[in-house]
Amino acid sequence: MIKLLIVEDELITRRGLMRHIPWKKIGVDMVETAESADEAFGICARWQPDIVLSDIKMRGMDGIEMCRQLRSLLPDCQIIFVSSYSYKEYLKAAIELGAIQYVEKPVVPEELIGAVEKGIERIEQIRAQKDLQESYTESLDFLKKEVLFSLLSTPGDVDKLECQLRKSGLWTGTDTRMRIGIVKLAGTVSEGREFLNTYREALHELMESAHFYCSADFHDKRTLILLITEARERLERDSGLIRSLCALAEESKGEFRHFLALGRMVGEPQQLYASYESACQSASSLSYKGFSSCAFSEEVAQDRHFELDREREEAFVNALSRRDKEEAGRILKDIYDDLTDQKAALNSSVKNMYFLLYNHVLRLEKELLSTGKEQKENNRFWDNAQTLQELHTFLAARAMEAIEEREKEGSGGNAVIFQVIEVMKQKYPDKNLCIKDLADAVYLTPSYLSGLFKRRTGTTINQYLTNLRIEQAKLLLRDNSLKLYHVADRVGYEDAAYFARIFKNQTGMTPSEYRENKSR
């Protein structure tokens, strides 16, 4: 059962929230209301709600102070703030209190529903964790062993683990050492098995005689656990085996792009958890190192409070106002470089910095995410971002997009389209050329560029690129000295058979038929 308390001193707003939000449908079983902090304290002591939806600016005690005091009474209660004000102090206080979301008035129902659903999900996770903790109350060490055994799919005590490791050939006990690795993917993988199989094959090729175990499933849909056991010299940081593992991460691309964090080397089964803990610590450096990299146990992100310099914030706002893309981009790059130089962890203070800058971009766009779909997409991004680079790239793209939008209001966006077409004309032979590359070239997001291109040209980017490649292929086919696979390669197709199918779809003739027809 989920119980929610609305704390709002305006009667109209309270009634509106009760009437227009489908509480039962989204999973809230009971809802009560309070018009002041004093009344809310009484209800919380008696009723103990799971979620508190509170206004910030109220008569008497404000919502921030009320929720700060509620934390001691209901530590697991999830908080959602609603307010007509978006002051920096309010945002900072909301983050410090661990609020689910800060919803601005007038409230968009879809946005509030998304925040409540997120709160319900957190409550269910907390309840599941409590159930697990109650199941293992014998000792902290026992709990850690259970977590570790679950991680390695080898339940049992230390002696049993050692026996299983011996039987599997992963541990002989004779100068054998072990390392835990944490593999983090750049995004969630819908076809996780495909990545897992590909990664395992790569490990087999790299390790040759080394023994390893790779978890059979994804933790949180983007994390794998790797156990490597070998002789001491083969697990040293500068060994060929470890260098090969790091190279595998550094060379990863596309949907297989990942980050590898390696824990310290240990010699006994009961020390595996220590290796896992140190791997978790090194995984924190993902925030500033980024994907396609690796980290060792001594590399740890600085998990401290970071605050946006007021002068930089004002300079960024001024650059947006002047539509100065170069200056706005430089400021964002300087902020990003400073954070990476300081090895900043991606904590709430860092996300808050970027969120404040993002709000300035939204004001330039003259919108505040009024559609529920766009709000959910952006909330998902902020929740799932794992690196400073992701935040920087997202914000820079949105800032450039906003400036471009304002600049092209009078020209219909034709300048951007012409620029994209020029890039395609120059790079069409590149087999890896994609919409993201084109969007990066004009500082827009791929989705926005795709829509703009279709509106202005009446065709998609992919279709335009295909047409361009086929027209170039027609010119090359006039040269009888070129083989068909040479022509395919020169216009950006790796597979000559696939090129032939595309060519026929576009022209009604195979490349050979076209060449023969032109030679008559």
**CATH code: domain of residue 288:** 3.30.70.260
CA distance 381 to 395: 11
Structure tokens at 68: 């700060």
**b/e burial code for range 226-240 (CB count within 10 A of at least 16 → b):** bbbbbeeebbeeeee
pLDDT at 364 over 80: no
- For a pLDDT cut of 90, what percent of the chain falls above it? 36
Q: Is residue 300 part of a domain?
A: no
C-alpha to C-alpha distances, 316 to 198, 307, 395, 435, nearest whole angstrom = 44, 15, 12, 28
Task: Pick 28 or 146 by higher pLDDT.
Answer: 28
Pair (99, 227) in one structural domain: no
pLDDT at 417 over 90: no
State whether residue 408 is helix, strand or coil. Answer: coil
pLDDT at 373 over 50: no
pLDDT at 157 over 90: no
Is the separation of the CB atoms in 9 and 82 below 8 Å? no
- Residue 412's nearest CA partner among 455, 362, 460 is 455
| CA–CA–CA angle 358, 362, 365 (5° rounding) | 140
The phi, psi pair for 443, rounded to 5°, reads: 60, 45
CA distance 106 to 423: 43
Pair (36, 128) in one structural domain: yes
Angle, to 10 degrees, between the axis of helix 272-283 and the axis of helix 140-152? 80
Count of structural domains within the chain: 4
Domain boundary (93, 110, 133) is at 133
Pair (238, 284) in one structural domain: yes
Q: Is residue 213 part of a domain?
A: yes
Q: Is residue 301 part of a domain?
A: no
Among 45-49, 66-70, 287-291, 409-413, where is mean pLDDT lowest?
Answer: 409-413
- Residue 58: which H helix or E strand, with range? none
Structure tokens at 375: 């709000």
Is the separation of the CB atoms in 212 and 242 below 8 Å? no
Q: Is residue 55 part of a domain?
A: yes
Is the separation of the CB atoms in 153 and 168 below 8 Å? no
Pair (118, 151) in one structural domain: no
Beta strands in 12-140 (DSSP E): 30-34, 51-55, 78-83, 101-104
Domain of 106: which CATH number?
3.40.50.2300
Pair (270, 185) in one structural domain: yes
Beta strands in 232-286 (DSSP E): 258-262
The model carries a pTM of 0.48
- Which structural domain range is residue 380 located in? 310-406
C-alpha to C-alpha distances, 21 to 120, 187, 363, 382, 472, nearest whole angstrom = 15, 32, 27, 24, 57
Pair (395, 417) in one structural domain: no
Q: Is residue 341 part of a domain?
A: yes
Mean of the per-residue pLDDT values for the chain? 82
- Mean pLDDT to the nearest integer, 132-154: 48
CA 39, chain centre distance (Å):
40
| Residues composing the chain | 520
Pair (154, 284) in one structural domain: yes
C-alpha to C-alpha distances, 485 to 101, 424, 470, 482, 493, nearest whole angstrom = 55, 21, 14, 8, 9
Pair (11, 150) in one structural domain: no
Paired strand residues for 81: 54, 102
- Mean pLDDT to the nearest integer, 24-48: 94
**b/e burial code for range 466-481 (CB count within 10 A of at least 16 → b):** bebbbebbbebbeeee
Among 131-135, 198-202, 381-385, where is mean pLDDT lowest?
Answer: 131-135
Per-residue pLDDT of 206-227, as tens digits, reads 766 556 666 655 556 778 888 8
Domain of 465: which CATH number?
1.10.10.60
The DSSP line for 197-241 is: HHHHHHHHHHHTT-EEEE-SS-BTTTEEEEEEEEEHHHHSTTSHH
The phi, psi pair for 3, rounded to 5°, reads: -115, 135
pLDDT of residue 146: 45
Pair (249, 263) in one structural domain: yes
pLDDT of residue 12: 92
Structure tokens at 281: 């610590």
pLDDT at 68 over 50: yes
Domain boundary (82, 108, 133) is at 133
Task: Pick 87 or 487 by higher pLDDT.
Answer: 487
Q: Is residue 304 part of a domain?
A: no
Q: Is residue 305 part of a domain?
A: no
CA 210, chain centre distance (Å):
33
Q: Is residue 303 part of a domain?
A: no
Domain boundary (104, 133, 162) is at 133
Question: What is the CB neighbour count within 10 angstroms for residue 215?
Answer: 18
Q: In what order do the strands lie in the sheet with 176-185?
A: 211-214, 223-231, 176-185, 258-262, 293-295
pLDDT at 393 over 50: yes
Pair (103, 59) in one structural domain: yes
Pair (101, 158) in one structural domain: no
Pair (58, 25) in one structural domain: yes
